Amino acid sequence: MPLYHNRTDGQVELVVEPEVLDQTVKKLYIYGAEGIILAIVNIPILLMVAFFPVLRKQKEMIMVAGIAFADGFHGVALIVAAIGRISLITSGNGYVLRSRWQCLMTSWNLMFIWSWPLAPIMLLMISVDRFLAVIKPFKYYKFTNRYAAKMVCEKSRTNRNGHHPANEKIEIGDNDARNQRILLHFLCSFA
């Protein structure tokens, strides 16, 4: 059973051995280094696409910029988390018990809430893009960079009447064209 003690400032703290503190700080330095690598690799890619019009005109580069943004933002979140946690440990507040709300409202956790789903969403959008390139190659060739920007920027979109295609019933049988239309509209709702 973990040991706790009351501090003179009225807070409750978990009792931790100094060796554990040292190991935790070392791990947090590695955590920060991982974030620095993610940011250093991905942010220049994002900036290149943002500042060069030739790259912005290519729909594939818009997709690459989207995944670079997701990974770069996650790298920044890792850096902020490492710095914040190391500063808490070095100030002696690293193992003070906090409420769930206080933990959630730390800046790095708020950044993680936004950054963790971004990379899988971008991978899904790239997969949908490749899927469209395979099943409709001639139509895909006509798509512009606006198509890619809509794919990157829109997670989900409802129809004009407020009905989302995910709520459509897909029927097994002779209505394959309708099912394909519903599925494509759900996967890339930019109509």
**So what's the pLDDT on residue 185?**
54
Chain segment 17-46, per-residue pLDDT in tens: 889 889 999 999 999 999 999 999 999 999
DSSP-assigned beta bridge partners for residue 96: 13
Residue 81's contacts (CB-CB under 8 Å, 6 or more residues apart) are 31, 35, 108, 109, 111, 112
pTM (2 d.p.): 0.73
Chain segment 74-98, per-residue pLDDT in tens: 999 999 999 999 999 999 888 888 8
Cα–Cα distances in angstroms (integers) from residue 67 to residues 25, 111, 141, 143, in the given order: 30, 16, 21, 20
**So what's the pLDDT on residue 43?**
93
**What are the phi and psi torsion angles at 154 (to 5°)?**
-110, 120
Residue 123's contacts (CB-CB under 8 Å, 6 or more residues apart) are 67
**So what's the pLDDT on residue 171?**
47
3-state secondary structure labels for all residues of 37-61 = HHHHHHHHHHHHHHHCHHHHCCHHH
- Cα–Cα distance for residue pair 159/54, rounded to 1 Å: 33
**So what's the pLDDT on residue 167?**
47
**So what's the pLDDT on residue 38?**
96
Chain segment 90-144, per-residue pLDDT in tens: 998 888 888 888 888 899 988 998 888 888 888 888 888 888 889 888 888 888 8
Q: Three-state DSSP class for 12?
A: strand
More confident residue, 2 or 120: 120
Biggest distance spanned by C-alpha atoms of the chain: 74
- Cα–Cα distance for residue pair 40/61, rounded to 1 Å: 18
Mean pLDDT of 168-172: 47
